[in-house]
Structure 1
Amino acid sequence: MKSSTDTIENIENDENDEFQEDFHNIVKFPPELEASISQILQINDPLDSNDFNPIEYLNQMLPNEQALASVDVTAKKLQVKMRQLSGEIKELSRIQTDSGQRGPEEVAEAKKAIEELFDRIRQIKEKASQSETMVQEITQDIKSLDYAKKHLTISITALKRLQMLVTALDQLKVMAQMKQYKETSQLLQAVLQLSSYFKTYKSIKRIAELSSSVNTFQNDLKKQIFEDFESRYIIYEIHSQTTLLANACLVIDIMGLDVRSQLMKWYCEKQLNDYKKIFRGNEEIASLENTSRRYAWLKRVLKNYDEKHASVFPTNWRLNEFLSIQFCEIVREDLVKTLVKNNELDVKTLLKNLQLTIEFENQLTKRFSNTVKYRSSSADNTPHNFNKTISTAFEPYLGLYIEAEDSTLSGMINSYHTETVPDEDASSSVLQSSIDLFYFYRETLANCAKLSTRQPFYDLCNMFAKWLRVYASEVLIGRLPKEERRAITRDELKLICFIINTADYCYVTTSQLEDKLKDTIDEEYKEKINFDEERNHFLNVVATSVRALIRGIELSYEPALVAMTKLPWSNLDSVGDQSEYVTLFNRTVLSCVVGVHKDITNNRYFRTFCDKFVESFVIKFINNLIKCKPISEIGAEQMLLDVHALKTSLLEMPTMGMENPIPPPPTFIKIVNKGISKVETILKTVLTPHDPPEGLVENYILLIADKNISNFQKILDIKGLKKNEQQQLTEIFQQKILEHLTLPESSSIMSSLTSSMTSITSAPLSQFITPLPTSFPTLLNNVPLAAAERITSMTPSSFADRSGSAATKFNESFKKVLNSRNWRKKDGGSDGIKKEDNKV
């Protein structure tokens, strides 16, 4: 029963929905009418709204997830609302059906009412148009009267101004004729202002005649004033009519800038004619030696102007400054002609007159700069800069000055060749000549900047660069000790260190000099200033000096290497403490390195020296092995012990002479380890017994790691094997290398065995100092690392980098060889070789 009732209600609801949709489609009004109906009915229920949106309505009722919990209650409310609406719709439908017969009559009455409304609106518009026409007819006469009043006012004003113009012009002519220039200036200003008002009326004959009369009068008045100046200008007696001419200048000011410029030029020409008669009429007076008299003449003229003429001309004209500008232009032209004619120009005369000219220009600039401070009413309050207005005439001849400075520098450089080294207690650690040189540069730079900052200054920069190169290549490198086969002395070591310090000082100061030159020279020459080549020259001095240090210390420890070759390396029967030559070497190196460390002020260069010294020593020691042949297995064991002691001594180099030694830098430790590992690799190969021969060949391939037969035979020569033994081993070696086709052709270890010291001492600059970067500190910071990387690149691939099985096999065989030797203790000492040295 319940289900059937629900079904009936659902059917009714569906029918109501269909009816409501059809009704909405039928009863659809225009938007304007809908808005009016809504405004009249004042609908508050959103369901009654014409643009009802069910989705928005539901979103308002269920704004969030919490509201969804009561959706059942809301649904029931909606169902109740729907039933109520359905009932109302049915009721309204019945009422509409019952009253359907009266609908057409009501519509007809509504249409009739609308037509009547339109008729009334049309009548209102017609009456409004009639009213507007009536108002225009009433106000037409008033508008005409308003226009007439406006034109009448303009006409009266024009007539009044015309009358004023005529009257003022008549009075102006009278005052000008009487030379009452103060009143004339006032009347002229009024006439010109009134004349500007009538510019648009020039088509009227009378106005055009009057305008022409004003222009003619101005020309006559200008001519009259110029005649007054001309007639009263008798040398410097223009002050006799001060008041008259001063008032005339007021009239000139009213006439405009062109007329004022003409009068100023006339005055300057009158003044400068006297100068031209004096200095252009007599060649002796016009000579370069009398340049000071030219400037004295202008000073007298300016003094006379201040005393007699300044009260005549208005201050804002700045006539004295204008006169000075004209004077400087004429003097510059005269000096150019004088210098061209002078075939015997000397530097002293040139610089004397140039200095006088620069001082005169500065005086003029200062004079008129001080005057401008008190000209607040001046239109142009910027003083003229007199710098280089005359002195530019001397610039083409400043080459004589540059040549004189060049000659002075040449004498200075020649005297530096015999300079003495500072004493031990001297505060300076550089050669005094470098300080003197840059002090001279600073003074010369300042003096030349006063004379010119253009081409002559650029020539001076090139001269500075030239003598810097000469100082580096001839003075500093030329002071290095000559290559002689003798031990280096303490004084020679100190001199080399001072040369390194001086080159470092010059490098830094050259960069500062370059910056100063760029700041001083004119903008067009800035990009041309570059001292990179000069800085590289000083870096080359450092590199050459480091090589000289290494070469000198090599000659000092040469006796130790000679003593090493005299030991019976083939007849040693046991391994003992370190050999005597090691002690001699350590003592010699300590005495030299301590002095070097003390005298080199830049620790980076000392580090460079240590790095290169290790490279040099390793190559020299390896080559000295050849002189020690034959070397037995016990001899090789003793050498390994000595090499360990040498390595310990080399690691102490960076801290030698220090009160509180610190650990050596990691990069230096790496360089020493890589270098000494070469020596140890060769000695461990020599240490390998040649019986069985396969063991020696196998160890050579693992240690030396190349397939070069010549290198293999060098090892055999060092071991002192006979020809037949070498032949057998060589044949086995040739067979073995067929199994190792990937081996390199030659090992860098064996190439060191045949190297000579010239490969180190004559190495290019890039091998000692990192190429010049943009900043000096960066360069020095990179030196040790670069040296370490070069050493690393020279180190051969160790056998530890080989396959694990091969390395293990070699370790085992090598330990057996070491253990099989008859190790003995000498004088109660420790084992000949430490356990660490047994490791490969």
Structure 2
Amino acid sequence: MNSHDYTPNDHLHQIFTSPQSLNELPQLLSYTSSYKHQLGKDITKDIESYDSSCPVGLNEDIVSLISLIRKVKSDSHVTQNSISSMTGSIRDLDQYKKNLVLSMTILKRLQMLINANNTLISIMPSHNYKEILSLFSVIKELLIFFQPYKAIDEINQLNLMVIGTQNKLIDDIFIDFEDFSAHRMDRADQLVYGCEILELIDVKYKEKLLQWFENLQLKDIKAIFNSVEEAGSLDNLNRRYIYFNNTLKSVRGQYLDIFPKDWQIDLKLTQLFCTITKKDLINLLGSTNVKSNTLLDNLMATLDFEKALNETFKTTEFTQIISSVFEPYLLIWINEQDKVLSQKFSEFMAAPQLPSEFNEKDDFLTVLKVNNVPNIANSSTELFKNFQKILTSILKLSNGEILIELSKLFIKYLYDFHNKILAPMIPKNDDDLGGGLEPLKYLTMLLNTGDYMINNIDDLADKFKSLIKDQYESKLPTYENIKDVYFKLINKSISNLLIKISNDLKFSWRQFMNANWSNMDAINDVSSYMLELKKQLASNLSIILPLIIRESYIRNFNDKLVELLITSLSNNLKFIKPLNVTALEQILLDVSFLKEVSLKFPLYADPNYDEAKSTNASSVSYQKFVNNQFHGLESLLKLLMAPHLPIENIIESYFELIGDKSIRNFMKILNLKDINKSDQTRYIENFKLQLTLDDGTLTNQSSLLSNLEDEEEVMSASVSQVSTPTPDLRSPKLIPAKINNFEKNLRDFALTGENHVSKLNENFKNFGKFFRKDND
């Protein structure tokens, strides 16, 4: 109820909760009247109590104070009016003073303007533009001051008079420039101030003067080299550049001092010339059939011109300012590079591919020790030098869509380099890989060159991606397919090197075959066939490994060679009948010797390696690989030593030593142990029975036994023939080399050198041609 926004409705609804409660209204009114009366008494009592407690005379003081405040307020208004009346006169006086000062300033500046204009008129005939510039700068400032007063007739007339003087000054400056260009004016040092005057008057007069000057300097060029005249043809583009260079030289020598430096008239003139020339070239190239020679000549002349301009002005803004118009026609240039590369390929096919040091008549091992020359095809480095040269040239013109066509061109010649230069060097038949060094030189050269090509192809692809504009990057052709071609070349080279070694080991395996194994009653020292095998391996590896550049390929080759030796020895076991324990123990001793020899293979990569003096060891990973490979062969020999009866024993030994569940491989062991076919059924049935007890420890197939040939597979071969299977290393069908009869005879000689020793000295100088494709 004490709130200011109190409404009695809420309480009324609480009191009169129903229509029947209205009957109590008289009682309520009576109670309300009584309560009101009582409140009145309380208020009166409180007032009387307050009056009795206040000091005497307080009310009178309050009334007096209020009256005094009212009087002070009235007096303040009177004072304010008096002050306002007084200061109003002062303000008027200040305004009069300001107007008087402004009038005096206007009159003074008006007098200055008139005097300056009169002085300007008087000195204009002298053409002393330095002094005129000083005066005109003052006049220009004064005119700006009088701009608000142009409505005054006198001021407007004076402004028109100054404008007339200004126009006369403009005409005089232009006339003086014309006189100077005609060599009729001596005081050229004043013209630079004339330029500043024109710029001060209005920038449009500066532009007008520059336009006049540029037209004057380019007038002859426009007249002589227009598209109608013969001089304006593409054949005379270089003459246009020469003519302009002379013009530019004249401008820089005679006119730079008469124009302000910040105008850069030589730069502006050059930019205009380039714009005009570019427009003319667009019309010429679009309206004529351009010959490739003409296009290239003009392109090179334009590039040289742009380069010279950049050097002259120490900038890069002239790069491609004109030559960019040639971009739509650069395919003609690409076709020209196609011809250049084609001609280069003729040179590549006519030149020897081996480094010149490898054709010397000295002992080749000595050459390897003395000369650290990488065995890479000479033409491969030349090919990429030509690529780099072409790419550098094209980047002067564009880094746009034309790079896609150039990339395709490079890929084309990468294929040609493989198909025409390298692939024909691979021997057509395995029998061609006879004795002598030539196959080793060429095959290692092919391996190294393949690796060199792959690395440079990667660099080339990355370079194209980094140089080409972003919108064209996705359209670049992929280099993955051509890389696969060179990877296959590397594999072919390694395979043929292994075949070459296999051919050289035939005599050792023949000794192995002819040994009296059946009558051997005691284990001797290492067998003679194994000593001969070591000799042949050392002879080949001392040449092959130093010639292979990349260490990873040396490791790959050695791994495959170890696998080849193990497979070859395993497959030759079937020709020894019977395989008695003593013979197997001797072979096991020989295998141990062969493993020690194999562990030293990587050391032959050093041309100065000497087995008798060296204490070096191969890498741990390679040693682990060799031990794992020979473990399988040793397990095979130990299994062959196991007695074939009882049947369960040999099967248990097979599971323990070989550890696979291949019935076919188990039958190979039975054949090697010379068990009759009729008896083999019992072994096989027992083997199958034992397989049902396998707890998952057996593998599906042993890698060594899977490569072991069945006796039936070589049944048609003669017993005296040496078996040198290389099922995983056979080279695929090769592209035959086209050679003339003389070169074919030399090649046959090189590949069967042991049968033609008497002719070696006579034909040694032609060895470089043995594997080279003829240049027909």
Q: Same fold (TM over 0.5)?
A: yes
Work out whether residues 567 and 707 of structure 2, in 8 Å CA contact, stay in contact via their aligned partners in 1: yes
% identical equivalent positions: 28
Decide which moves more: 646-655 or 405-414: 405-414
Q: Distance in 1 between matches of 2:154 and 2:310?
A: 50
Matched, 1:683 2:637: yes
Give the equivalent residue in structure 1 for 2:609. 658
Q: Distance in 1 between matches of 2:496 and 2:161?
A: 96
Q: Structure 1 residues 509 and 198, CA, compared in 2 at 3 Å: closer, same or farther? A: same
Work out whether residues 182 and 251 of structure 1, in 8 Å CA contact, stay in contact via their aligned partners in 2: no
Distance apart, 1:562 and its partner CA: 3.8
Matched, 1:354 2:299: yes
Decide which moves more: 331-340 or 135-144: 135-144
Give the equivalent residue in structure 2 for 1:268. 214
Q: Structure 1 residues 697 and 303, CA, compared in 2 at 3 Å: closer, same or farther? A: closer
Superposed counterparts of 1:651-800, under 5 Å: 651-656=599-604, 658-659=609-610, 660-740=614-694, 742=696, 743-754=698-709, 757-761=726-730
Q: Distance in 1 between matches of 2:348 and 2:178?
A: 72
Give the equivalent residue in structure 1 for 2:13. none
Superposed counterparts of 1:457-496, under 5 Å: 459-460=405-406, 462-485=408-431, 487-496=434-443
Give the equivalent residue in structure 1 for 2:526. 578
Q: Structure 1 residues 286 and 716, CA, compared in 2 at 3 Å: closer, same or farther? A: same
Matched, 1:388 2:320: yes
Distance apart, 1:158 and its partner CA: 4.6
Q: Aligned to 2:211, what secondary structure does the other structure show? A: helix
Distance apart, 1:721 and its partner CA: 0.7
Q: Deviations over 1:721-775 (max 9, x none)?
A: 11332122222222222222534444444323259623244699xxxxxxxxxxx
Q: Distance in 2 between matches of 1:229 and 1:307?
A: 19
Q: Aligned to 1:701, what secondary structure does the other structure show? A: helix
Q: Structure 1 residues 354 and 733, CA, compared in 2 at 3 Å: closer, same or farther? A: closer
Q: Aligned to 1:644, what secondary structure does the other structure show? A: helix
Query: TM-score, normalised to structure 1's length?
Result: 0.65
Q: Deviations over 1:212-259 (max 9, x none)?
A: 8489659955874587479859x8456578588666434312123232
Give the equivalent residue in structure 1 for 2:270. 324
Matched, 1:600 2:548: yes
Q: Aligned to 2:430, what secondary structure does the other structure show? A: coil
Q: Distance in 1 between matches of 2:70 and 2:464?
A: 91
Superposed counterparts of 1:330-349, under 5 Å: 330-343=276-289, 345-347=291-293, 349=294
Work out whether residues 457 and 483 of structure 2, in 8 Å CA contact, stay in contact via their aligned partners in 1: yes
Distance apart, 1:207 and its partner CA: 9.3
Decide which moves more: 221-230 or 440-449: 221-230
Distance apart, 1:541 and its partner CA: 3.7
Q: Aligned to 2:232, what secondary structure does the other structure show? A: coil
Work out whether residues 658 and 702 of structure 2, in 8 Å CA contact, stay in contact via their aligned partners in 1: yes
Distance apart, 1:553 and its partner CA: 0.8
Distance apart, 1:157 and its partner CA: 3.5
Give the equivalent residue in structure 2 for 1:769. none
Q: Distance in 1 between matches of 2:648 and 2:625?
A: 33
The amino acid that maps onto 1:753 is L
Q: Distance in 2 between matches of 1:648 and 1:512?
A: 41
Q: Distance in 2 between matches of 1:468 and 1:646?
A: 42
The amino acid that maps onto 1:750 is L
Unmatched 5+ residue regions in structure 2? Answer: 1-52, 711-724, 734-776
Work out whether residues 508 and 533 of structure 2, in 8 Å CA contact, stay in contact via their aligned partners in 1: yes
Q: Choose from 444, 458, 470 the match for 1:497.
A: 444
Matched, 1:545 2:493: yes
Give the equivalent residue in structure 2 for 1:416. 348
Q: Choose from 105, 112, 121 the match for 1:157.
A: 105
Q: Structure 1 residues 170 and 404, CA, compared in 2 at 3 Å: closer, same or farther? A: same
Q: Distance in 2 between matches of 1:655 and 1:631?
A: 35
Work out whether residues 556 and 588 of structure 1, in 8 Å CA contact, stay in contact via their aligned partners in 2: yes
Work out whether residues 387 and 410 of structure 2, in 8 Å CA contact, stay in contact via their aligned partners in 1: yes
Superposed counterparts of 1:236-255, under 5 Å: 236-237=182-183, 239=185, 248-255=194-201
Q: Deviations over 1:794-840 (max 9, x none)?
A: xxxxxxxxxxxxxxxxxxxxxxxxxxxxxxxxxxxxxxxxxxxxxxx
Distance apart, 1:556 and its partner CA: 1.4
Give the equivalent residue in structure 2 for 1:646. 594
Q: Distance in 2 between matches of 1:341 and 1:745?
A: 75
Q: Deviations over 1:22-57 (max 9, x none)?
A: xxxxxxxxxxxxxxxxxxxxxxxxxxxxxxxxxxxx
- Cα RMSD (Å): 4.7
Distance apart, 1:719 and its partner CA: 0.8
Decide which moves more: 536-545 or 669-678: 536-545
Q: Structure 1 residues 136 and 549, CA, compared in 2 at 3 Å: closer, same or farther? A: farther
Q: Distance in 1 between matches of 2:732 and 2:626?
A: 20
Q: Choose from 284, 288, 298 the match for 2:230.
A: 284
Distance apart, 1:611 and its partner CA: 1.6
Q: Distance in 2 between matches of 1:571 and 1:544?
A: 42
- Between Structure 1 and Structure 2, how many residues are aligned? 642
Q: Structure 1 residues 205 and 543, CA, compared in 2 at 3 Å: closer, same or farther? A: farther
Q: Aligned to 2:655, what secondary structure does the other structure show? A: helix
Decide which moves more: 670-679 or 271-280: 271-280
Give the equivalent residue in structure 2 for 1:47. none
Work out whether residues 512 and 529 of structure 2, in 8 Å CA contact, stay in contact via their aligned partners in 1: yes
Q: Structure 1 residues 187 and 654, CA, compared in 2 at 3 Å: closer, same or farther? A: same
Q: Aligned to 1:759, what secondary structure does the other structure show? A: coil
Q: Structure 1 residues 137 and 153, CA, compared in 2 at 3 Å: closer, same or farther? A: farther
Matched, 1:364 2:322: no
Q: Choose from 404, 408, 416 the match for 2:336.
A: 404
Distance apart, 1:128 and its partner CA: 12
Work out whether residues 655 and 661 of structure 1, in 8 Å CA contact, stay in contact via their aligned partners in 2: no
Superposed counterparts of 1:1-400, under 5 Å: 138=83, 140-141=87-88, 142=90, 145-146=93-94, 149-150=97-98, 152-154=100-102, 156-158=104-106, 160-161=108-109, 164-165=112-113, 185-198=133-146, 209=156, 213=160, 217=164, 220-221=167-168, 224=171, 228=175, 236-237=182-183, 239=185, 248-280=194-226, 283-305=229-251, 309-310=255-256, 312-343=258-289, 345-347=291-293, 349-369=294-314, 385-400=317-332
Q: Deviations over 1:694-737 (max 9, x none)?
A: 11122222233333333222211111111332122222222222
Q: Distance in 2 between matches of 1:569 and 1:129?
A: 151
Query: TM-score, normalised to structure 2's length?
Result: 0.69
Q: Distance in 1 between matches of 2:390 and 2:103?
A: 79
Work out whether residues 239 and 308 of structure 1, in 8 Å CA contact, stay in contact via their aligned partners in 2: no
Q: Aligned to 1:489, what secondary structure does the other structure show? A: coil
Give the equivalent residue in structure 1 for 2:373. 428
Q: Distance in 1 between matches of 2:567 and 2:381?
A: 39
Q: Deviations over 1:122-149 (max 9, x none)?
A: 9999999989996996583556655654
Q: Deviations over 1:193-216 (max 9, x none)?
A: 2333355667x5659956984896
Q: Deviations over 1:372-401 (max 9, x none)?
A: xxxxxxxxxxx6833333333444444444
Decide which moves more: 534-543 or 189-198: 534-543
Q: Structure 1 residues 615 and 356, CA, compared in 2 at 3 Å: closer, same or farther? A: same
Q: Structure 1 residues 652 and 320, CA, compared in 2 at 3 Å: closer, same or farther? A: closer
Distance apart, 1:566 and its partner CA: 4.3
The amino acid that maps onto 2:352 is E
Work out whether residues 353 and 379 of structure 2, in 8 Å CA contact, stay in contact via their aligned partners in 1: no
Distance apart, 1:177 and its partner CA: 9.4
Q: Deviations over 1:663-693 (max 9, x none)?
A: 1211111111111112122222222212111
Q: Aligned to 1:689, what secondary structure does the other structure show? A: coil
The amino acid that maps onto 2:590 is D
Q: Distance in 2 between matches of 1:623 and 1:420?
A: 38
Q: Structure 1 residues 188 and 624, CA, compared in 2 at 3 Å: closer, same or farther? A: same
Work out whether residues 182 and 250 of structure 1, in 8 Å CA contact, stay in contact via their aligned partners in 2: no
